[in-house]
Amino acid sequence: MPASVSVAASARLHLGFLDMNGGLGRKFGGVGMAIDAPATQLTLTHADRNFVEGPESARAAALLERAQEALGVARRHRLTVQEAIPAHAGLGSGTQFALAVSAALRRLEDLPHDPLADAALMARGARSGLGAGLFQLGGVVVDGGRGPHTTTPPVVARAEFPDAWRVLLVSDPENVGLHGADERDAFAELPPFDATTSGEVCRLVLMQILPALAEKDLAPFGAAVTRIQELVGDHFAPAQGGRRFTSGKVEATIARLLADGATGGGQTSWGPTGFVFIESDDAARRLLGRHGAQAREEGLDISIHRGLNRGARIDAVYAQIA
């Protein structure tokens, strides 16, 4: 049995839902990808009583208690959170945090690794299987949505994100994306998503995004992401003040980046984080050099990222016996 377990689970981008119509018996589905930062990093050890420290400690304590109960673990633990993905920024913080805690507990207690089961046990993945799939696999994944007997929406396709490509993230720290009861209410109040639009999104994923990733061809990949974001963004606009983006400042910055050579612009989940794709690190740095100062003057965060083609890192440390 390990003496301690450390887990690092990176952020994800939600690039769009596939089918919110549900006419085929499954609903939602989505396409998303893992990025190299920010990440949730934590360490779990045994203790006489539960003790949690670090950023998001109250949230972490609740997750630890839930995982202990769900997995039937009676022993108590010390949980140290070194870093946490910002909450309600559209980066998948809730699912990655929950799965990091449950994965650490499983490893520490010599229980089998099972992130798909943990997503259900930790009450994650109600609409999307992307968080669990990316925690396990990294890269770019497509989940098949929720059917009448689905526990965690399954990953139905995965592709590597090309090493050369980069992502520029733009976020507005003064805004937060919809979450909790507000998010549930928004989904309940949105108008129906027509089957024709769902069909177009699915065609873009199957016949444009996935082949473009396989052939490392950024132009069709970016064009498909932009179009999906337009279709899905228009559907969600009534819940976002009539806009495709939660933050008007992020929306304007993404538009400038697209006009200056970036591609695949949009907002991840409910935002407020937006993204674009660039063909190389050098090109991304040049773009950041031209637009970074204005973005920061407007109070935005802007940064360059890589895709992450692996799942969460889980490291166990064993006590040395003299």
Which stretch, 146-150, 224-228, 317-321, has highest mean pLDDT?
A: 224-228
- Mean pLDDT to the nearest integer, 285-307: 98
Q: What is the pLDDT of residue 160?
A: 98
Gyration radius from the chain CA atoms? 20
3-state SS assignment for residue 114: coil
Residue 301 pLDDT: 97
Cα(135)–Cα(155) distance, rounded to whole angstroms? 12
146 DSSP 8-state letter:
B
20 has a pLDDT exceeding 90: no
Q: Choose among 189, 169, 168: nearest CA to 178.
A: 189
Structure tokens at 19: 């089918």
Question: Is pLDDT above 90 for 207?
Answer: yes
- What are the phi and psi torsion angles at 183 (to 5°)? -65, -45
**What is the SS3 assignment for 274?**
strand
Assign 3-state DSSP to the chain and report helix, strand, coil percentages, each to 5.
40, 25, 35
Arch. (CATH architecture) of 166-305? 2-Layer Sandwich (3.30)
Q: 57-71 vs 93-108: helix axis angle to the nearest 10?
A: 50
Residue 280 has pLDDT above 80, yes or no: yes
CA distance linking residue 270 with residue 239, whole number of Å: 9
**Mean pLDDT score, 280-291:** 98
Interval 54-64 mean pLDDT: 97
The verdict on domain 4-160 having CATH code 3.30.230.10 is: yes
DSSP 238: G
d(CA 125, CA 109): 24
Q: Which of 159, 204, 170, 168 is nearest to 277 (CA)?
A: 168
**How far apart are alpha carbons 306 and 56 in whole angstroms?**
25
d(CA 129, CA 15): 13
pLDDT at 178 over 70: no
DSSP structure class, residue 261: T
Distance (Å, rounded) from C-alpha 204 to C-alpha 210?
9
Q: Which residue ranges make up each domain of the chain?
A: 4-160, 166-305
pLDDT bracket for residue 190 (50, 70, 90): confident
- Tell me, yes or no, if the two domains 4-160 and 166-305 fold the same way: no
- What's this model's pTM, rounded to 2 decimal places? 0.94
What is the Cα–Cα distance from 126 to 261, expressed in whole angstroms?
36
pLDDT of residue 127: 82
pLDDT of residue 321: 59
pLDDT band, very low/low/confident/very high, at 187 (cuts 50, 70, 90): confident
Q: Is 174 helix (H, G, I), strand (E, B) or coil?
A: coil
Taking only the tens place, the pLDDT of each residue in 248-258 is 999 999 999 99
